[in-house]
Amino acid sequence: MRALATVFDVDPEYLLQEDGKLPERVEAELERLRTLRRAEVRSFVARALGPVDPEALEAIAKILDDGA
């Protein structure tokens, strides 16, 4: 596992511990994906439903984030 961690440039503890902290770049990538998902939802809602209030869009994005 340590060799694999070296190949992927992550802390070996990340692979060896079940409750290990995610590396910063993994956290950043997950946040980027959440941001993209929100943008896709807004785009879909805008096309499908027309004008929707921002609170409804945020509620939808939160549901998606909680399910991730």
Reported confidence tier of residue 20, pLDDT bands at 50, 70, 90: low
CA quadruple 46, 49, 51, 55: dihedral, nearest 10: -90
Q: Would 6 be classed as within a structural domain?
A: no
Is 29 a domain residue? yes
Residue 15: the pLDDT is 79
Considering the domain boundaries, does residue 54 fall inside one?
yes
Evaluate whether residue 11 is within a structural domain: no
Assess if residue 38 is contained within a domain: yes
Domain count, the chain: 1
| Residues of the domain holding 48 | 23-68
pLDDT in tens, 29-54: 888 988 888 788 778 877 887 777 88
Give the pLDDT score at 66. 74
Helices 24-49, 54-67: crossing angle, 10 deg rounding:
130
Task: Report yes or no on 16 lying in a domain.
Answer: no
How far apart CA 55 and CA 25 sit, in angstroms, is 30
pTM value? 0.48
